[in-house]
C-alpha cells in the first residue's frame, strides 16, 4: 500500500464539504490499492488529523476482516513517540475510517533531497529512533513489512514518526508455518527472503529495510540500484553493495551485518541495540502507557454492525468552485516542490505527483486538460474541480490513472496538482510531459521534472 500516511496539507473548501462523524474531510494526501488518506479537521476542537479510508468490500473480498481487526486493535494500543498515533476507528456501511495523528514536518527523505546526505551522527540519531519504534512494535506482535522513505515522517520538532505500521501490507496472512508469504514493499528496500517468497520472519525482514534506510541516510543513494528488476534482485540476493569511503569502519561493519542476505545469520534488533556504533549518544525514549479503549473497534467489527455505531458520510452542497488554499497549506505543499536533480537520479525515487499554476479560470483549465488528454489515449471523468484521467491502454503496471485537482491559491491564480493513483511512475512522467505540451497556453509556471530523464516540462 503506497499511502503517504499522515502528512501533507489541509484544505478548506467553499464548494461543499464532507463530514464523517465529528470530522470534516479535506484533500487527499495519498492513496494506494486498498486505502486513501485524507486530511481532516475535528469540527469541535479544530484539531488536524489524517483519516485512512479503507473500502469494506475489498477488505471482505480478501477475507481480511479478522486480520484488520487484530492489526487495528494492536495499533491503537501502541503509544510510542516514534510511531504515528491512531486516535479512533469509525465505519460507515461501505467504508472503514482510521483516524491518525497528522504530522507536518514532511518526509525524512525530503531532508536529503534538500541538503544531501546526513552526517553520521545525525543519521545515527534517526536510525536509533527508527530501531526503537520498530523494536517496540515487534514486541507487540506488529510488523511493518514495507519500511521505506515515504513511511518515515518528521513532526514539527524534527522527531521521527514511522507511519503505516501494521497497515502497510494488509492483504497478507501468516500461514501455518508461522511465516508471512506475501511479497510486498518497495523492491530496493525489501529483504531477499521476502522476494524469494518461501516465507519470512516479519521482524528479521523489517531490520533489513532499516539497514537500507541507514545506508541511504549516510550515503545519499541506494545500496542496491538497477533499472532492470531481475538485475536488482540478483544484487539483493547476493547483498552486492559497497559502502562509500566516508562511512566510519564501525558503521560499515554494522551495515554489513544487517544487510546479510541469510536471515538465519543476520544480526537481530536486540544485538543492534547493544552494538557499539548504535549505542553512541543513545537515549531510549521515556513514555507512559496510556489507558486506551478498544470499544470503537469492537463496535465497528461486531457481527451485527449495529447501525447506531455506523457513521454517515454527509456532503453539504455549495456552488461548484475550486478548493481554496491558505498560505500555510501552500507552504506545506511546496516543501517537496523541488527535489534536487541529484536526488531524482541517484535515489531512483521518481515523484508520483507534480503541479503547475495557471491564471486561466478553473473551467478553462478543465476543458484544456480534456482536449490535451484525449489524443494521448486518456479518458477524463469530471467531478467539480477534480478530474480522474484514466489510460485506455494497459501499461507496465496496469492502466495508468491520474487524479487531478484544481486549487485556488490567490484571486485568479490556480494550482493544478496531478497525482498518480495507479500504474507505473515512469509512464506517469511520460504522460505528464506529453500533456504539458498540449497545456502550454494555460501554464503559468510548472514544477520542474528531471530534464535528463524526462525532457523539459512546459513552462511559460
| Percentage of the chain modeled with pLDDT above 90 | 22
Q: Which pLDDT score, from 0 to 100, does residue 342 have?
A: 31
Q: Which of 212, 246, 279 is the last residue of a domain?
A: 279
CB 270 within 8 A of CB 118: no
Q: How do 35-42 and 48-55 pair as beta strands?
A: antiparallel
Mean pLDDT value of segment 298-306: 64
Mean pLDDT value of segment 121-125: 95
Q: Is residue 259 part of a domain?
A: yes
Is the pLDDT at 326 greater than 60? The verdict is no
Q: Is residue 170 part of a domain?
A: yes
Mean pLDDT value of segment 50-56: 86
Mean pLDDT value of segment 103-107: 82
Q: Which pLDDT score, from 0 to 100, does residue 68 have?
A: 75
Residues 202 and 335 both lie in one domain = no
Mean pLDDT value of segment 169-179: 43
Q: Which pLDDT score, from 0 to 100, does residue 33 have?
A: 61
Q: Is 146 a catalytic residue?
A: yes
Bridge partners (DSSP) listed for residue 306: none
Mean pLDDT of the chain: 77
Q: Which pLDDT score, from 0 to 100, does residue 240 have?
A: 93
Residues 243 and 328 both lie in one domain = no
Q: Is 453 annotated as a binding residue?
A: no
Instruction: Judge residue 398's burial from the number of C-beta atoms within 10 Å of its C-beta, 0-12 exposed, 13-18 middle, 19 or more buried.
Output: exposed
Q: Is residue 295 part of a domain?
A: no
Q: Is residue 374 part of a domain?
A: yes
Q: Is residue 63 part of a domain?
A: no
Q: What is the dihedral of CA 200, 204, 205, 209, to 10 degrees?
A: -170
Q: Which pLDDT score, from 0 to 100, does residue 145 have?
A: 75
Is the pLDDT at 243 greater than 90? The verdict is yes
Q: Which residue has the higher pLDDT, 261 or 430?
A: 261
Is the pLDDT at 281 greater than 50? The verdict is yes
pTM for the whole thing?
0.65
Q: Which of 221, 246, 279 is the last residue of a domain?
A: 279
pLDDT in tens, 377-425: 899 998 878 889 988 887 666 778 898 988 877 777 888 888 887 777 7
Is the pLDDT at 297 greater than 60? The verdict is yes
Residues 271 and 370 both lie in one domain = no
Q: Is residue 290 part of a domain?
A: no
| Local confidence band at 319 (pLDDT 50, 70, 90 cut-offs) | low
Range of the domain at 258: 108-279
Mean pLDDT is highest, among 142-151, 252-261, 406-415, for: 252-261
Residues 257 and 346 both lie in one domain = no
Count the Cβ atoms, other than its own, within 10 Å of residue 333. 19
Q: In what order do the strands lie in the sheet with 17-20?
A: 86-91, 95-101, 48-55, 35-42, 23-31, 17-20, 313-316
Residues 264 and 386 both lie in one domain = no
Q: Which pLDDT score, from 0 to 100, does residue 188 have?
A: 83
Mean pLDDT value of segment 362-378: 90
For the chain, counts of helices (H) and of strands (E): 16, 16
Mean pLDDT is highest, among 19-23, 191-195, 290-294, 347-351, for: 19-23
Q: Which pLDDT score, from 0 to 100, does residue 260 have?
A: 95
Mean pLDDT value of segment 121-149: 88
Where is average pLDDT lowest: 231-235, 294-298, 401-405? 294-298
Where is average pLDDT lowest: 8-22, 144-158, 295-309? 8-22
Is the pLDDT at 31 greater than 90? The verdict is no
pLDDT in tens, 72-83: 787 787 888 999
Is the pLDDT at 306 greater than 70? The verdict is no
CATH number at residue 112: 1.10.510.10
Where is average pLDDT lowest: 200-204, 266-270, 379-383? 200-204
Q: Which of 279, 300, 333 is the last residue of a domain?
A: 279
Q: Is residue 293 part of a domain?
A: no
Q: Which pLDDT score, from 0 to 100, does residue 167 have?
A: 56
Separation between Cα atoms, residue 316 and residue 17, nearest integer Å: 5
Q: Which pLDDT score, from 0 to 100, does residue 455 have?
A: 36
User: Can you read off the three cell numbers belonging to residue 285?
Assistant: 525514549
Q: Which pLDDT score, from 0 to 100, does residue 274 have?
A: 95
| Local confidence band at 254 (pLDDT 50, 70, 90 cut-offs) | very high
CB 212 within 8 A of CB 222: yes
Q: Which residue has the higher pLDDT, 447 or 418?
A: 418
Q: Which pLDDT score, from 0 to 100, does residue 441 have?
A: 83
Residue among 222, 258, 251 nearest 123 (CA): 251
Mean pLDDT value of segment 229-253: 92
In the set 135, 146, 155, 164, the catalytic residue is: 146
Residues 170 and 260 both lie in one domain = yes
pLDDT in tens, 162-173: 887 655 444 344
| Local confidence band at 283 (pLDDT 50, 70, 90 cut-offs) | confident
Q: How many domains does the chain have?
A: 2
Separation between Cα atoms, residue 190 and residue 206, nearest integer Å: 8
Separation between Cα atoms, residue 146 and residue 393, nearest integer Å: 29
Q: Which pLDDT score, from 0 to 100, does residue 226 have?
A: 82
Amino acid at each position: 500500500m503506497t499511502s503517504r500516511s499522515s502528512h501533507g496539507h489541509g484544505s478548506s473548501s467553499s464548494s461543499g464539504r464532507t463530514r464523517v462523524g465529528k470530522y470534516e474531510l479535506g484533500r487527499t494526501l495519498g492513496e494506494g490499492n486498498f486505502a486513501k488518506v485524507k486530511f481532516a479537521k475535528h469540527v469541535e476542537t479544530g484539531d488536524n488529523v489524517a483519516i485512512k479510508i479503507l473500502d469494506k468490500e475489498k477488505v471482505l473480498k480478501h477475507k481480511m476482516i479478522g486480520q484488520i481487526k487484530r492489526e487495528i486493535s494492536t495499533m491503537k494500543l501502541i503509544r510510542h513517540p516514534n510511531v504515528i498515533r491512531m486516535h479512533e476507528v469509525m465505519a460507515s456501511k461501505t467504508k472503514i475510517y482510521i483516524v491518525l495523528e497528522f504530522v507536518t514536518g514532511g518526509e525524512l527523505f525530503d531532508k536529503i533531497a534538500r541538503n544531501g546526505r546526513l552526517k553520521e551522527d545525525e543519521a545515527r540519531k534517526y536510525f536509533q529512533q527508527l530501531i526503537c519504534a520498530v523494536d517496540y512494535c515487534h514486541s507487540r506482535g506488529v510488523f511493518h513489512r514495507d519500511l521505506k522513505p515515504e513511511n518515515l515522517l518528521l513532526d514539527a520538532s524534527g522527531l521521527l514518526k514511522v507511519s503505516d505500521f501494521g497497515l502497510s501490507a494488509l492483504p497478507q496472512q501468516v500461514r501455518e508455518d508461522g511465516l508471512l508469504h506475501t511479497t510486498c514493499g518497495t523492491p530496493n528496500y525489501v529483504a531477499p527472503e521476502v522476494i524469494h517468497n518461501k516465507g519470512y520472519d516479519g521482524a528479521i525482514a523489517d531490520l533489513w529495510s532499516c539497514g537500507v534506510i541507514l545506508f541511504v541516510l549516510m550515503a545519499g543513494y541506494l545500496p542496491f540500484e538497477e533499472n532492470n528488476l531481475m538485475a536488482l534482485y540478483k544484487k539483493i540476493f547476493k547483498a552486492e553493495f559497497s559502502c562509500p569511503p566516508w562511512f566510519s569502519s564501525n558503521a560499515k561493519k554494522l551495515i554489513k551485518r544487517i544487510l546479510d542476505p541469510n536471515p538465519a545469520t543476520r544480526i537481530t534488533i536486540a544485538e543492534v541495540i547493544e552494538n557499539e556504533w548504535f549505542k553512541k549518544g543513545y537515549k531510549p525514549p521515556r513514555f507512559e502507557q496510556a489507558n486506551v479503549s478498544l470499544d470503537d473497534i469492537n463496535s465497528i467489527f461486531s457481527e451485527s454492525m449495529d447501525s447506531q455505531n455506523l457513521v454517515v458520510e454527509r456532503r453539504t452542497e455549495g456552488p461548484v468552485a475550486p478548493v481554496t488554499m491558505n498560505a500555510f497549506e501552500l507552504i506545506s505543499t511546496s516543501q517537496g516542490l523541488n527535489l534536487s536533480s541529484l536526488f531524482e537520479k541517484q535515489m531512483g525515487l521518481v515523484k508520483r505527483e507534480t503541479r503547475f499554476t495557471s491564471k486561466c479560470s478553473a473551467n478553462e483549465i478543465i476543458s484544456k486538460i480534456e482536449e490535451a488528454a484525449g489524443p494521448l489515449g486518456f479518458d477524463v471523468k469530471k467531478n467539480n474541480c477534480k478530474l480522474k484521467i484514466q489510460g485506455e491502454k494497459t501499461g507496465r503496471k496496469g492502466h495508468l490513472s491520474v487524479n487531478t485537482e484544481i486549487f485556488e491559491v490567490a484571486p485568479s491564480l490556480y494550482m493544478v496538482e496531478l497525482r498518480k493513483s495507479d500504474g507505473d511512475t515512469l509512464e506517469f512522467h511520460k504522460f505528464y510531459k506529453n500533456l504539458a505540451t498540449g497545456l502550454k497556453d494555460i501554464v503559468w509556471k510548472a514544477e520542474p521534472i528531471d530534464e535528463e530523464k524526462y525532457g523539459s516540462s512546459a513552462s511559460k
